[in-house]
Amino acid sequence: MALAHSLGFPRIGRDRELKKAQEAFWKGELNEAGLRDVGRELRKVHWDLQKNAGIDLLPVGDFAWYDQVLSHSLMFGVIPERFRPHDGKATLQTLFSMARGVSNTCCGEGHAQEMTKWFDTNYHYLVPEFSVDQHFHLGWEQLFEETEEARALGHNVKPVILGPLTYLWLGKTKGADFDKLDLLDRLLPLYGQIFARLAALGVEWVQIDEPILVLDLPQDWKNAFERAYNQIQRDPLKKLLATYFGGLEENLGLAANLPVDGLHIDLVRAPDQYPTILDRLPTYKVLSLGVVNGRNVWRCDLQNALATLRHAHERLGDRLWVAPSCSLLHSPVDLGREDQLDAELKSWLAFAVQKCEEVAVLAQAVSEPEAPQVLRALAQSRSVQTSRAASPRIHKPEVQTRVAAITARDAQRQSPFAQRIAKQRGKLDLPLFPTTTIGSFPQTAAIRLARQAYKQGKLSAADYTDAMHTEIRHAVEIQERLGLDVLVHGEAERNDMVEYFAEQLDGYVFTRFGWVQSYGSRCVKPAVIFGDLSRPQAMTVEWIRYAQGLTNKVMEGMLTGPVTMLMWSFAREDVSREVQARQLALAIRDDVNDLEAAGIKIVQIDEAAFREGLPLRRAQWPAYLEWASAAFRLCASGVRDETQIHTHMCYSEFNDVIESIAAMDADVITIETSRSDMELLEAFEAFAYPNDIGPGVYDIHSPRIPDVTEMVGLLRKAAERIPVERLWVNPDCGLKTRGWPETEAALVHMVSAARQLRKEWA
C-alpha cells in the first residue's frame, strides 16, 4: 500500500469565501469571531474534500489568514519593531498590519512588509525582516490550534512547516549589515519546541518544506543544512522533508542524506530525478513522489505516472508515498464548480479536489491494480489522453505550419537600430525629451460599470463602444491639453492586459471559478491555453484607429507581449513554453502589422513578465532568455524601419538580464526607475545599452504628486548616464489604478520638467 498525502490545499475556498471575509473584516463589517468562523469552516470543508477524495494524510498549517510565510513570522516572533504590540502579544490585528501597513497616529505609523514572488509562481509572500539582534520565540498558537481542531474532527494530519533554512533564505536583513545565516542557531531551538508541542497533540509526522534545495545554493547554506538537520534530528516526530518547483540536482545527495525520515521530490518539474534518487536514498526513508502537477489545471496522465510509481513500489514497498508535486495552493479549488465549460474541455481539466482524487487512485493502483475504481480511472485517463492528442480543437495544422516556417529573418528588423531611429526621427518629428505615458489611464467606476453592464447583456455592443469612445476622447483631450508628445488611447476597453487579448484568441478558454490566490485577499483567474493559438481577427486596430482619428499627434498602438501572455496564463503541458510563446508572437505580430497598415507610427508591446519568466536555476537562464527575446522580436519585426516599436517593463532589476533586454531590440524601452533614484540606469550605462530609454520619473504606485524640481532632478541624473537624444520622459508604469485629478496634476509637472530640460540642452 502506498500512502496518499497532500502537501497543502488552497485556502481561499470554492467561492473565495476567505477573500470576502477578510475584506469584510478590514472594512469593519465582520468582527473577529465572524472571520474566525469562516476560517474554521473553510478548514473543515477542505479537510473533508481531501479526505473524501481519498487522501490518507491531511495537511494542517496550510491555512493562513494572509500568507503562510507571514504566519511563520508570527510563530517565530519575527515582528518588526514598528508593528510590535505593547504587551508583546501578537493578534490578528498585528498580522494584518504587517501585511497591509498601518497609518493611524494613535498606534504609530508602519509601512507594510515587502512582498515578493514565491519562487517562480504568481503567489506573493511577505518578506520576513530580520535585525542583527533578532530574537525568536514562540508567539503564535495557530498551528497548534488548527492541529487540535483537525484531531478533534477525527483527521489523521501532518502539520506543514517551513524549514529553518528556507525561512531564513526568504527573509531580508534590516539595519546593520549581517549574514542572516548567523541567525540559524537562534532559530533552531524553536523547531524543537514546536515539534514537542505537536507530538503532545498526538501527531506522528511533520512536513518540513525546504524548497530552496532546488536552487543554486551557496556552499555555506549547504553546510548549514547538515548542521541544522543534525540538530533537528533529536527533536520528536517523524519528519518528511519536502522539496518542490524543480530538481535537486547537485543538492540531491545532500537532501537524500539529511537525517530525517522521508523526502518528497517534484517529479513533474524534474522527472529526471527518478530513478537516480532510489540509489541515493537511505533504506530507512520514505520517498514521496510528486507526480500530479500542483501548479496547473490539466488532468494527470495516470498511466505515465503509474509506470514510475510501480517501479518505485517494487523497490520501496510501503516506504512509497504519493502526492501532488507541490502544495495545491497554486491550482484552482474545484472543477465541479464549473458549470459552463463544455464537457470535452472539462474532461481534460483537474483542479485541487480532482488532483487529490488522482493522487489517491494512483496510490491505490500501486497495490490494487485490479480494483474497479482503479481500472475505471485508468480507462478514463487513457481516453482523455487520446482525445486530447487527436483533437482538432487543440491541434491546428495552419498554426503549426506557420510556426514551423519561422526563420531567423522573421525575428529581425529590416535595418539596425541606428538606421531605423534616423528614419523614425524624421517621420515622428518629436522634440528632445519626448513625453509619453505607459498606456493605461484611470479605470474609473464608470468604465467598470459599463463593462459589467455590457457583459451582463444590459448594455448593447454599440452602446458599450460609445461609452468607451467617450473615455478615449476624454483621455485624448486631456493629453492634448497637457501637451504630451506621444499619446495613448488609455486602455479603457481593457479589463486586464492579458485577459483582454486571451478573450480574442483561439486556443484560450476561461473558467468561471478557477481562482488562485495571488496575495492576501487578491485572487487571479488566469486564462487557460488549451490549444494552438491563433488570431481570428484584428484585436486592437479599431480602438487605436478611432483614437488616432481624434488627434494630429502620434497615437501609440498598445499590445501585450507573448512572454507576459504566457506567464500569466495556465499553459499547456503537451507543448513547450517556447512553442506557445511563438504562437502568441505570431498572433501579436499580425496586430502590429495591422496597426502599421492603419497608419499607426508607434506600437508598444508590453513585457511586464519578461524577468519573472526566468528559471530558478541559472544554468537554464540562457535558453529561456534566448527564446523569450526571440518571441518579442518576432512580434516586432514585421514592420518597416520607420515604425517605432516600444516595450515596457515595470520592475527594477536589469543587471543580470540587460544583454537579453538589448537583444529584444525595441526602439524604445520604458522602465520603472523613480523609486531607485535612477540608480537602475547604471546597468544600462555599464552595458552601453544602445537604443532609446524612458526611465520612469514618477512612481505611480502612490497618490503622491512629485513636484517639478524632483522630476527635473531625476532627469538630470538620467542625462548623466544616457545620451540625451536617446532619453524619453514618462511615468514608471500605467495609470489605471490612479484617479484623474492626481494623474493630471502629476503629468502637468512631468511635461514642465521635460520642457525645462529641453531649454537646458537647447
Please name the amino acid found at residue 369.
Answer: P
Q: Is residue 608 a contact residue for ligand GLN (CB under 6 A)?
A: yes
Among 323, 484, 734, 753, binds ligand GLN (CB under 6 A): 734
Site for Zn ion in 637-656 (CB under 5 A): 650
Question: CB-based contacts of 184: which residues, under 8 Å, 6+ apart?
Answer: 164, 165, 168, 224, 227, 228
CB 494 to ligand GLN: min, Å = 8
* Alpha carbons 697 and 730: distance in angstroms, whole number: 6
Q: Is residue 673 a contact residue for ligand GLN (CB under 6 A)?
A: no
Annotated binding-site members for L-methionine? 438-440, 491, 606
Torsion angle of the four alpha carbons 414, 415, 416, 419, in this order, in degrees rounded to the nearest 10 = -140
Residue 253: strand, helix, or coil: helix
- Report which secondary-structure segment, H or E, holds 446: helix 445-455
* Partner whose binding site includes residue 603, from ligand GLN, Zn ion, none (CB under 5 to 8 Å by kind): none
CB 317 to ligand GLN: min, Å = 51
* Partner whose binding site includes residue 232, from Zn ion, ligand GLN, none (CB under 5 to 8 Å by kind): none
Annotated binding-site members for Zn(2+)? 648, 650, 672, 733
Question: What DSSP string runs through 174-226?
Answer: -SS---GGGGHHHHHHHHHHHHHHHHHTT--EEEEE-GGGGS---HHHHHHHH
* Partner whose binding site includes residue 440, from Zn ion, ligand GLN, none (CB under 5 to 8 Å by kind): ligand GLN
Angle at which helices 352-367 and 372-390 cross, to 10°: 120
468 vs 733 by CB, closer to Zn ion: 733
- Report which secondary-structure segment, H or E, holds 464: helix 461-482
**Number of residues counted as binding Zn ion (CB under 5 A):** 2
Of 268, 117, 69, the residue nearest 614 (C-alpha):
117
439 vs 507 by CB, closer to ligand GLN: 439
Among 285, 611, 648, 749, binds ligand GLN (CB under 6 A): 648
Residue 717 per-residue DSSP state: H
The number of angstroms, rounded, from the C-alpha of 264 to the middle of its chain's C-alpha atoms is 24
Q: Are 707 and 674 in contact (CB under 8 A)?
A: no
Among 57, 99, 305, 650, binds ligand GLN (CB under 6 A): 650
* Partner whose binding site includes residue 67, from ligand GLN, Zn ion, none (CB under 5 to 8 Å by kind): none
Q: Is residue 669 a contact residue for Zn ion (CB under 5 A)?
A: no
* Partner whose binding site includes residue 99, from ligand GLN, Zn ion, none (CB under 5 to 8 Å by kind): none
* Partner whose binding site includes residue 558, from ligand GLN, Zn ion, none (CB under 5 to 8 Å by kind): ligand GLN
520 vs 734 by CB, closer to ligand GLN: 734
Torsion angle of the four alpha carbons 251, 254, 256, 259, in this order, in degrees rounded to the nearest 10 = -150
533 vs 678 by CB, closer to Zn ion: 678
Cell representation of residue 56? 490518507
Piece in contact with ligand GLN (CB under 6 A), picked from 312-320, 437-445, 502-510, 583-591: 437-445
Strand pairing partners for 262? 240, 286
Please name the amino acid found at residue 747.
Answer: L
CB 607 to ligand GLN: min, Å = 8
Cell representation of residue 517? 490566490
* Alpha carbons 184 and 136: distance in angstroms, whole number: 10
* Partner whose binding site includes residue 215, from ligand GLN, Zn ion, none (CB under 5 to 8 Å by kind): none
CA distances from 404 to 231, 412, 573, 759 (A): 56, 17, 19, 52
* Partner whose binding site includes residue 736, from ligand GLN, Zn ion, none (CB under 5 to 8 Å by kind): ligand GLN
3-class secondary structure for 602-644? Answer: EEEEECCCCHHHCCCCHHHHHHHHHHHHHHHHHHHCCCCCCCE
Of 669, 698, 697, 552, the residue nearest 604 (C-alpha):
669
The number of angstroms, rounded, from the C-alpha of 260 to the middle of its chain's C-alpha atoms is 32
* Alpha carbons 720 and 681: distance in angstroms, whole number: 10
* Alpha carbons 718 and 715: distance in angstroms, whole number: 5
CB 601 to ligand GLN: min, Å = 18
Residue 508: strand, helix, or coil: strand
495 vs 534 by CB, closer to ligand GLN: 495
* Alpha carbons 268 and 280: distance in angstroms, whole number: 19
Among 30, 472, 727, 733, binds Zn ion (CB under 5 A): 733
State the first-to-last Cα distance of the chain, in angstroms, to the nearest integer: 80
Q: Is residue 440 a contact residue for ligand GLN (CB under 6 A)?
A: yes
Q: Is residue 39 a contact residue for ligand GLN (CB under 6 A)?
A: no
CB 731 to ligand GLN: min, Å = 9
Site for ligand GLN in 555-594 (CB under 6 A): 558
Going residue by residue from 678 to 717, which x/- string records binding to ligand GLN, judged by CB under 6 A?
----------------------------------------
Piece in contact with ligand GLN (CB under 6 A), picked from 110-118, 136-144, 391-399, 433-441: 433-441
Site for ligand GLN in 484-523 (CB under 6 A): 491, 497
* Partner whose binding site includes residue 439, from ligand GLN, Zn ion, none (CB under 5 to 8 Å by kind): ligand GLN
305 vs 602 by CB, closer to ligand GLN: 602
Annotated binding-site members? 16-19, 117, 438-440, 491, 522-523, 568, 606, 612, 648, 650, 672, 733
CB 751 to ligand GLN: min, Å = 18
Cell representation of residue 499? 485577459
CB 643 to ligand GLN: min, Å = 18
CB 733 to ligand GLN: min, Å = 6
* Partner whose binding site includes residue 289, from ligand GLN, Zn ion, none (CB under 5 to 8 Å by kind): none
> What b/e readout covers 222-242, taking b as 16+ CB neighbours within 10 angstroms?
eebbeebbebbeebebebbbb
Residue 114 per-residue DSSP state: P
Q: Is residue 439 a contact residue for ligand GLN (CB under 6 A)?
A: yes
Please name the amino acid found at residue 469.
Answer: H
Going residue by residue from 148 to 177, which x/- string records binding to ligand GLN, judged by CB under 6 A?
------------------------------
CB 606 to Zn ion: min, Å = 7
Q: What is the set of active-site residues? A: 701
Annotated binding-site members for L-homocysteine? 438-440, 491, 606
* Alpha carbons 252 and 214: distance in angstroms, whole number: 9
586 vs 650 by CB, closer to ligand GLN: 650
Question: What's the length of the chain?
Answer: 762
* Alpha carbons 267 and 324: distance in angstroms, whole number: 9
* Alpha carbons 262 and 260: distance in angstroms, whole number: 6
Piece in contact with ligand GLN (CB under 6 A), picked from 40-48, 89-97, 447-455, 733-741: 733-741
Among 736, 743, 746, 757, binds ligand GLN (CB under 6 A): 736
Piece in contact with ligand GLN (CB under 6 A), picked from 65-73, 309-317, 436-444, 533-541: 436-444
Q: Is residue 421 a contact residue for Zn ion (CB under 5 A)?
A: no
384 vs 487 by CB, closer to Zn ion: 487
Count of Cβ atoms closer than 10 Å to residue 205 Cβ:
20
Question: CB-based contacts of 83: which residues, under 8 Å, 6+ apart?
Answer: 94, 97, 98, 102, 110
491 vs 532 by CB, closer to ligand GLN: 491
Piece in contact with ligand GLN (CB under 6 A), picked from 249-257, 589-597, 668-676, 732-740: 732-740
Angle at 298 between CA 293 and CA 303, to 5 degrees: 75
**Residues lying near ligand GLN in the complex (CB under 6 A):** 438-440, 491, 497, 558, 606, 608, 648, 650, 733-734, 736
**Residues lying near Zn ion in the complex (CB under 5 A):** 650, 733
